[in-house]
Amino acid sequence: MRLSIPNLIQEAERCVACGLCLPHCPTYKKTGSEADSPRGRIQLMRAVAQDILPNNERFKAHMDLCLSCRSCESACPNNVAYGSLIDSARALFVPKKNRLAAWARPFIRSRKLMNVAVRLLRLTQQLGLDKLGAGIGATKLLPKLKKPVNWQTTYPSLAANKQGEVSLFLACASQTLDSDTLAASIHVLNALGFDVQVPAQQTCCGSIARQMGDVAESDALLARNRASFASGLPILTVASGCGAGLADYLTSHQVQDISAFLANCDWSKLTLKPLPQRVFVQDPCTLRNGQKSHAAVYALLKKIPQAEVIALSGNGQCCGGAGAYMLTQSDMAQQLLNDKLASIKAQQVSLLATSNIGCSLHIARGLAAKNATVQLRHPVQIVAAQLGWTAS
Ligand code: SF4
Ligand code: SF4
């Protein structure tokens, strides 16, 4: 929820400065600086809101270094709404010049334009131009792009036992970079007896715009999604970064992570092929501290016979991906990624499940830099494969 200045001050004053959140804050652990801790940031926000401190570059730097991982919020005994505080501080105080670049907006808003961009980028990859220095900025982080999918608006289930109807959120990053997970989700939902609706007018969840303090843009995107999903069907998300943002700001709708929904379905009519191997799970912060439904991923994967489902050590700490953070705060993002890669190495992980495309891209880049051969999959892809689904 976004707060007004008086409400921000009131919420910040609920922090009793106990410091219990400090050991849970990745940026505090790395810098040792109070100003980069949740307690310190809350005091800074309050001081700026009360005109005690200036809204200057130093203040902004401490806000920008926050990952919005909300580990502090989960640890806080006083339930201080840190997520709302940081979103509001960014919206109220982050200088306008840092807001979402105007050139990026049309692509984020329009699936058609995004698909045109994907086709062009795919061509540069196929011609090898990306390796010749043609790749710029975020495009250097892109995995091998697939042909964009023209999603149908309905995927009816052919199962004899109909269980109901749901709607699926495509998300700009997922439909561009992770269409296999969307296809796998439709496959599993149909197999379980759910018709899947894919509203054509849906758009980006607005989380990146919000992270950059661009209130007008995130509100416009939310309004379009509110209208697109007016049917009242549950909205299932496959990227927890989008799911957490929609659940927080589209409160009139029932938003659920796909794994949380699937874990609670009736699986008695389906048979999953056994998977006799260890499946490690990385908990995205948006699932763990935002939607608080990370346990459902383990419950879902444990439905696969013989799969040994194990938590990746250090799961409480953000991987450093954090939406656009991996681009805007690359030093801290790399430090946190190194910790994640060390866990993967120490536990000899060969298959890692993650529910967020942002984490997946960030970790995949780190693994590639180390020539590590680890399969990174969305949990629903792993489940779908045991039902006979294959990636395109
Ligand atoms: S745990 Fe909560 S009350 Fe304590 S310092 Fe952190 S935010 Fe403030
Ligand atoms: S959201 Fe994460 S990085 Fe930001 S203050 Fe809280 S624990 Fe630290």
Please write the tens of the pLDDT for every residue from 233-289: 999 999 999 999 999 888 878 999 999 999 999 999 999 999 999 999 999 999 999
Residue 92 C-alpha to ligand 2 middle, in angstroms? 18
Q: Which ligand is nearest to the CA of 30?
A: 2
Residue 41 C-alpha to ligand 2 middle, in angstroms? 9
Q: What pLDDT does 242 receive?
A: 92
Provide Rg for the chain, Cα atoms. Answer: 21
Q: Which ligand is nearest to the CA of 36?
A: 2
DSSP helix/strand/coil, 270:
coil
Which helix H or strand E contains 194, and what residues bound it?
Answer: strand 194-197
Query: What average pLDDT does this structure show over 352-376?
Result: 95
Cα distances from 21 to residues 46, 246, 313, 357, in angstroms, run 18, 25, 20, 27
Q: Which two tokens stand for residue 45?
A: 């926000």
Provide the edge-to-edge strand list for the sheet that holds 375-377: 308-311, 278-282, 351-354, 375-377
Q: What pLDDT does 184 receive?
A: 98
Residue 313 C-alpha to ligand 2 middle, in angstroms? 19
Nearest CA to ligand 1 atom 4: 18
CA pair distance 84, 98, nearest whole angstrom: 20
Q: What pLDDT does 145 receive?
A: 84
DSSP helix/strand/coil, 319:
coil
Q: How confident is the model at residue 224 (pLDDT cuts 50, 70, 90)?
A: very high
DSSP secondary structure, 78-141, as one string? T---HHHHHHHHHHHHS-GGGSPPGGGHHHHH-HHHHHHHHHHHHHHHHTTGGGGTT--GGGGG
Residue (of 279, 242, 274, 275) closest to 258 by Cα position: 242
Nearest CA to ligand 2 atom 8: 25
Residue 222 C-alpha to ligand 1 middle, in angstroms? 30
Question: For the chain, what is the mean pLDDT?
Answer: 91
The pLDDT > 70 percentage for the chain reads 95
Q: How confident is the model at residue 148 (pLDDT cuts 50, 70, 90)?
A: confident
Query: What average pLDDT does this structure show over 64-90?
Result: 96
Query: What average pLDDT does this structure show over 166-188?
Result: 93
Question: pLDDT of 112-147, one tens digit each?
Answer: 777 777 788 877 777 776 665 545 556 666 778 888
DSSP helix/strand/coil, 375:
strand
Q: How confident is the model at residue 229 (pLDDT cuts 50, 70, 90)?
A: very high
- Find out whether the beta carbon of 69 lies less than 6 Å from any atom of ligand 2: yes
Q: What pLDDT does 134 receive?
A: 47
CA pair distance 177, 236, nearest whole angstrom: 18
Q: How far does the chain reach from its first CA to its final CA, in angstroms?
A: 38
CA pair distance 113, 75, nearest whole angstrom: 41
Q: What is the DSSP letter of 280?
A: E
- Find out whether the beta carbon of 68 lies less than 6 Å from any atom of ligand 2: yes
What are the beta bridge partners of residue 95?
Answer: none
107 pLDDT higher than 90: no
Q: How confident is the model at residue 96 (pLDDT cuts 50, 70, 90)?
A: low
What are the beta bridge partners of residue 280?
Answer: 310, 352
Q: Are 350 and 356 in contact (CB under 8 A)?
A: no
Q: What pLDDT does 176 receive?
A: 85
Q: What pLDDT does 13 receive?
A: 97
Residue with tokens 């149909």: 190
Nearest CA to ligand 2 atom 2: 69
Query: What average pLDDT does this structure show over 13-19?
Result: 97
CA pair distance 171, 111, nearest whole angstrom: 10
Atom of ligand 1 nearest to the CA of 22: 6
Q: Which two tokens stand for residue 36?
A: 């980069």
- The number of angstroms, rounded, from the C-alpha of 146 to the middle of its chain's C-alpha atoms is 20
- Find out whether the beta carbon of 27 lies less than 6 Å from any atom of ligand 2: yes
